[in-house]
Amino acid sequence: MDRNKHPIINTAYQLVPATGSLLRTLGTVFMHSFRKRETVSYPEESVYLPPRYRGRIILTRDPDGEERCVACNLCAVACPVDCISLQKAEQDDGRWYPEFFRINFSRCIFCGMCEEACPTSAIQLTPDFEMGEYDRQQLVYEKEDLLIDGPGKDHDYHFYKVAGMAIGGKDKGQAKDEEAPEDVRTLLP
Amino acid sequence: MAIIHVDGQAYEVNGADNLLQACLSLGLDIPYFCWHPAMGSVGACRQCAVRQYKDADDDQGMLVMSCMTPAKDQTRIDIEDEEARTFRASVVEWLMINHPHDCPVCEEGGHCHLQDMTVMTGHDRRRYRFSKRTRRNQNLGPFIGHEMNRCITCYRCVRFYNDYAGGTDLGAFGSKDNVYFGRYEEGTLESPFAGNLTEVCPTGVFTDKSHAAHYTRKWDLQFAPSICHQCAMGCNISPGERGGSLRRIENRYHGDVNGYFLCDRGRFGYGYVNRSDRPKVPEWRAQLDQTPTHLEVDAALDHITDALRHARRVIGIGSPRASLESNHQLRELVGDKHFSTGIEAQEQACLERMNHLQRTAGLPTPTPREIERHDAILILGEDPVQSAGRLGLNLRQAALARRETMGEKLDVPTWDAEALKTLGQDSYHPLHIAWPTTTELDSVAIRHSLAPEEIARLGFAVAHIIDPSAPAVDRLDTATRETAQQIADDLMAAERPLVVSGGTLTSEAILEAAGNIAKALSMHAKQAGLVLIRREANSTGLALMGGQPLDWALDELAQGNADALVVLENDLYQRLPAKQVDAALARADIRIVLDHQRTPTTDKASILLPAASFAETSGTLVNLEGRAQRFFQVFEPAYLRPEARLHASWHWLHSLAVSLRGEPPKAIHLDQATQACAEAYSSLAGMAQAAPGADHRIAGLPLAREPHRYSGRTAMRAHLNVNEPRPPQDPDTPFAHSMEGYSGFDRPRQQVPFAWAPGWNSPQAWNKFTDEVGGHLRGGDPGVRLIQPAPGHQGHYHQPVQSAEGTNALRALILPRLFGGEETSSLAAPIQQRTEQPSVILSADDAQRLALKTGDRVNIGEGTTLPVYVQPDWPTGWAGLPAGLVAGVLQGATLTLSAGDKP
Ligand code: SF4
Ligand code: SF4
Ligand code: SF4
Ligand code: SF4
Ligand code: FES
């Protein structure tokens, strides 16, 4: 039988399954009212974010409590929106540190490239996204706003313990897998 | 020419090259460390291995070091051969065994040749799990940092420092895998070319300390093609800026002028640009003792216009350290009849004489590169390392080139550095220096310790021997006659003799003597050359422009013939005795001074206009060859320091002229300023072609000042205001203040702000910009020569000077100093730290007469007390004084020394 020639029959054919689907949807929705609730009433209730969530950026400290960032500029160059700017300075003992460290969060896209580039685990993204401001200028974070007291997600890494440069408290030859400095005044094998 | 086959492709190359040079010149990449285009090969690092086949039938071949293998015709090699690749990767892996985990805290990072080569060979995982060797560092003085852990034992440093530059205090110590590169004892590196180690060393062992103090990675710097302003050599430089301050000076390759190297004054003397005490806004005061009031630009212009309108006559004093454009605008403002070059009369006479000689003495002026091809040299009354820095290196290479001449006979190629060194031993092309005290070139030269007049007489005598029709010198003593004979013989025996002289001793007689020798040599149809050293960055240019000497300007003022004065970037107290300057300034009611530094002259200004330094503006200079070269603005000072009101002097002066004429303000652009200057003086007509104009584009693009990975654009200014302004627009030059624009290497160009090519972040990237490695820029070496020998011009011989009658008076002999002898670089902290303890040099006779001995202290002029140094062969009657120490003392001035306080 050619259905197109009998529009009424055709409509009936379509109507029956459509009604069924509609009823099933209503049923599902109704059943959901007995399920556990996924929606949280933020801000009264806090949200769970996994530790690897990419939110507000921090600068961490090494296990000895010293600033981890060595001002190498790799995060800045990795940043696709160029919103990190810093200036290297040197402590008296030779340790490099950022004289200033600025992130313009009004530009940041929380891609995590900086964290990935960082050779010292200094810069990390955290599960915090509550950064709203009325004034965009307030989104410019300086080092005071970024630096925290702990090591963040990476508890152990200590860049200067593996680097060759001598700093206060770690002389040449005292880093991991290093021999004592060579005596150049000997020709002995 | 030779045909070589690389990976199955045939190429035409220079058969005199080695394979590495040949392949790099073709644009093929082979990793290397120890070879350097200016220093040849030694085969020390084993990094440049390729597979070479004996002939067309050989399918085995063997690994060879490409840098040690001649590019003979029909050589067949594979770069991409599997074994060769593995070999090269292993070499890097093995160099990395002891390499520290330092890149993040290494100043070399981002322009490190070792990083580049490691990436190129594909070594990306550390397999070696055992311990690393470590080494202690040394403090090598204010210029160079030292981190010995990073050394890969390529030997480039000592080869440059000792062989190329003639240093003696850097060496390789130890043996086997324990080789240390440093000084015997900690201490300042003595060579004035030590700074080049930062570029020669392929790793972060030697780094620029002045840069480390405000470190910025290369990718974060903003660059422009610039010209060093620290002497008349006109070396091409790439100054790098960030955050409104200059962070470092890197060499900018120029095939004819500076090649790969700079002197340390040029490299480390930029600190004056960053000084916090620089004038930044216009200042005005009615009385000298008042604190100056700060003015806005318009207010300042109104003020000056008002004052100048009421002036009877305005004198303009230009400056040989300012651009031609600025000097011309000043001259336009005050008028030809009221313009002075700002150069002391005697010095100016010498400058004019030098320009004249360059045209008429019958000899061309070789480029610094060509100087290295001259095989006998006479330096008459100059100490080139102290007075023209980089030039000293060229002259040294000329002396060393004897090795190559000897090698040629034995078929030793010019790149085989170690073989040539062994062959040459201590034989050098003859290099005679007539100069009263030790010079940096003494180790390869024969020095004749003479007083200025005697130097001139020696020169006249040499000319007379070469060409008897040149006037003879009477009453010449035997010793001098013999010396003259020896010099003349050496010059005549050479193919390409070279005469070097200059204005350092401000003696026209010496220059005339040099001119006589030049003319005598030209009579013999020798391929000879004449090089004349000028003192300041634009001395040659100002002498071409012309104008009255400074003495005239001061006289006019002192006599009341003028009551207003405009001084352009010039500290008059450096040039003439303070009394004379004071007297003149006291009679000028209106004293307008433009400068980028605070000087004793700016302290006397009634209105001070803050001028832009070389890094903040553009302009043209003429170097000692007579080459007009353009330097370009590196950064716009107002972008990061919005409160600054720095403008090019030519801008200020033009605005003043417009406002004086009562016309509505209209801006002038660089191209107009240059064009105006080129049109006004026939001798400067060529300067407009020195560099492309503002409309120059490559592939339709302006040229980028910043590398494409310039970081922090949206944060570096965010503390001032989170809304970023548009990057500064530059109507004056073809360069953009951003990374947008052309920054590649594949299209030939002359003006290269920074050298970068994919995979080549270090200065080795210059190889990608040259027609052949160590050759010329593919787009042509920048600059145009303005002074040409006049064809068919017959110069005439000058009469020799008479020997000075013995007087008892002690005369000042100002000795140029690379560090501390130049005004602006002396304001940079590293240069101040490097400046050696000055002393007064006396002859034994004079010392005895004055009852002084080495170490005693004497007073010179007001307030300067110096220790005495008695030099046995120092000419009697002269007191050697370091330049730049006692301001305003002229060459030859009579001195009275009085015993100073005990130290
Ligand atoms: S990458 Fe890490 S160590 Fe380097 S500057 Fe950024 S935060 Fe500091
Ligand atoms: S020398 Fe080069 S490879 Fe070595 S630590 Fe420095 S930047 Fe890294
Ligand atoms: S210090 Fe630098 S130039 Fe000298 S051998 Fe070591 S890596 Fe080579
Ligand atoms: S030689 Fe002169 S121009 Fe060249 S770098 Fe040294 S000071 Fe500058
Ligand atoms: S570059 Fe050829 S061995 Fe070093």
Q: Quick: pLDDT tens for B389-415.
A: 999 999 999 999 999 999 999 999 999
Q: Quick: pLDDT tens for B498-508.
A: 999 999 999 99
Identity of the residue numbered B532:
L
Q: Quick: pLDDT tens for B62-96.
A: 999 999 999 999 999 999 999 999 999 999 999 99
3-state SS record for B424-467:
HCCCCCCEEEECCCCCCCHHHCEEECCCHHHHHHHHHHHHHHHC
Ligand 4 atom at minimum distance from B391 CA: 1
Nearest to B707 by CA among B217, B109, B235, B203: B217
Interface residue B222 vs chain A (CB under 8 A)? no
> How far is residue B855's CA from residue B24's CA, in Å, rounded to a whole number?
55
Q: What is the pTM of this model?
A: 0.93
The residue-averaged pLDDT of B367-383 equals 95
Identity of the residue numbered B620:
T
Q: Quick: pLDDT tens for B272-285.
A: 999 999 999 999 99
> How far is residue B344's CA from residue B348's CA, in Å, rounded to a whole number?
6
Is the CB of residue B48 below 6 angstroms from any atom belonging to ligand 5? yes
Nearest to B271 by CA among B819, B767, B710: B819
The residue-averaged pLDDT of B580-588 equals 93
Can you give the pLDDT at residue B903? 47
Q: pLDDT band for A4, please (50, 70, 90 cuts).
A: low
Choose from B97, B105, B129, B177 for mutation: most chain A CBs within 10 A: B105
Q: Quick: pLDDT tens for B237-257.
A: 999 999 999 999 999 999 999
The residue-averaged pLDDT of B617-630 equals 96
Is the CB of residue B762 below 6 angstroms from any atom belonging to ligand 2? no
Q: Quick: pLDDT tens for B332-343.
A: 999 999 999 999
Which residues contact ligand 3 via a Cβ below 6 A?
A: B 151-157, 181, 201-203, 205
Residue B560 scores a pLDDT above 70 = yes
Domains in chain B (CATH in brackets) are 2-96 (3.10.20.740), 347-540 (3.40.228.10), 810-899 (2.40.40.20)
Cα torsion angle, B431, B437, B441, B444, sign: positive
Percent of chain B clearing pLDDT 70 (strictly above)? 98
Chain A residues whose CB is inside 8 A of the B723 CB are: 136
Q: pLDDT band for A1, please (50, 70, 90 cuts).
A: low
Q: A83 a known binding residue?
A: no
Q: Quick: pLDDT tens for B422-465.
A: 999 999 999 999 999 999 999 999 999 999 999 999 999 999 99
Interface residue A159 vs chain B (CB under 8 A)? yes
Q: Report ipTM for this prediction.
A: 0.91
Cβ contact B715–A72 (<8 Å): no
Please give the radius of gyration of chain A, using alpha carbons only, rounded to the nearest integer: 29
Is the CB of residue B33 below 6 angstroms from any atom belonging to ligand 5? yes
> How far is residue B430's CA from residue B1's CA, in Å, rounded to a whole number?
32
What integer best gives the mean pLDDT of chain B?
Answer: 93
Interface residue A69 vs chain B (CB under 8 A)? no
* Distance from residue B257's CA to the centre of ligand 4 (Å): 10
Q: Quick: pLDDT tens for A94-137.
A: 999 999 999 999 999 999 999 999 999 999 999 999 999 999 99
Q: Quick: pLDDT tens for A156-170.
A: 999 999 999 999 889
Name the residue among B216, B217, B715 with its Cβ closest to that of A84.
B715
> How far is residue B732's CA from residue B205's CA, in Å, rounded to a whole number?
40
Lowest mean pLDDT among A13-22, A105-114, B649-658: A13-22
Can you give the pLDDT at residue A36? 87
Can you give the pLDDT at residue B863? 72
Percent of chain B clearing pLDDT 90 (strictly above)? 84
The residue-averaged pLDDT of B103-115 equals 96
Chain A residue closest in CA terms to B713: A82
The residue-averaged pLDDT of B310-331 equals 95
Can you give the pLDDT at residue B260? 96
> What residue owns the CA closest to ligand 3's atom 6?
B151
User: Rounded to a whole number, what is the distance in angstroms from the first to the last CA of chain B?
Assistant: 67
Nearest to B380 by CA among B452, B443, B475: B452
> How far is residue B699's CA from residue B750's CA, in Å, rounded to a whole number?
14
Chain B residues whose CB is inside 8 A of the A71 CB are: 215
> How far is residue B259's CA from residue B251's CA, in Å, rounded to a whole number?
8
CB count within 10 Å of CB A38 equals: 6
Interface residue A25 vs chain B (CB under 8 A)? no
Residue B474 scores a pLDDT above 70 = yes
3-state SS record for B808-831:
CCEEEEEECCCCCCCCCHHHCHHH
Query: Of chain B residues 703-762, which have a CB less than 8 A from chain A?
Result: 709-716, 718-719, 721-723
| CA distances, B686 to each of B363, B542, B673, B734, B784 (Å) | 21, 15, 14, 19, 7
